[in-house]
Structure 1
Amino acid sequence: MQVEFGVLIAIGGFLIGLFTFAQKRDKNVKDDASKSAVIETKLDNISQSVDSIRIDLRANEQRWSSLSETVVRIDESTKQAHKRIDKIDNKGDV
């Protein structure tokens, strides 16, 4: 009878250990899944931010290109104006 009681206690301990293991395993899977979801969400946000920065950078490059073209035209216009002024000065000196 004592042997049967010991076997029952051993089986009971084994079952309790098995159930505890299963619960912790399920909890760990849930925790890992939630952590993965959080990480994935953060990576998506970072990706969207990088894409937004790229769009802004392209827009800035276009603005700089436009500004550069404007400066070149103004520089050419200024050179022509100086040539005309020099001609007017030379006519006045004669």
Structure 2
Amino acid sequence: MSIEMSLLFGAIGTVLGVLGAIITMKKDSKNQGASEASITTKVDYIARGVDDIRLDQRAQASKIESMNEKLIRVDESSKQAHKRIDKLEGISHES
């Protein structure tokens, strides 16, 4: 009888151990799912931020290009003005 009781307690212990492992795995699976959802949300938020930065960078590049074109025109105009001033000074010095 003592061997039968030992076998019975052993079998009950084994069943309880397996059930405990299954319950723990389910909890871990739920926790892992929540963790993965949180990570996915954060990655999506970062991706949107990177997209916003790219758009801002393109807008800034466009503004810089426009300013460069204006600067070139101003520089050319300034050179022409200096040439006209040099001509005027040459005329006034000759008089």
TM score, norm. by length of structure 2: 0.89
Could you list the runs of 4 or more consecutive aligned residues of structure 1 that deviate by over 6 angstroms after TM superposition?
A: none
Residue matched to 1:63: 63
- Residue 73 of structure 1: how far off its partner (Å): 0.5
2-side partners of 1:24 and 1:55: how far apart? 46
Q: How many residues align?
A: 94
> Which segments of 5 or more consecutive residues in structure 2 lack a partner in the other structure?
none
Superposed CA deviations along residues 27-62 of structure 1, whole A, max 9, x for unmatched, are 111111111111111111111111111111111100
Letter in 2 for 1:39: I
Q: After superposition, where does 1:16-55 map in structure 2 within 5 Å?
A: 16-55=16-55
Please report how far the alpha carbon of residue 90 of structure 1 lies from its aligned counterpart in structure 2 after TM superposition. 1.5
Correspondence for 1:7? 7
User: Could you tell me how far apart the structure 2 residues matched to 1:50 and 1:93 are?
Assistant: 63
Percent of aligned pairs with the same amino acid: 37
RMSD: 1.2
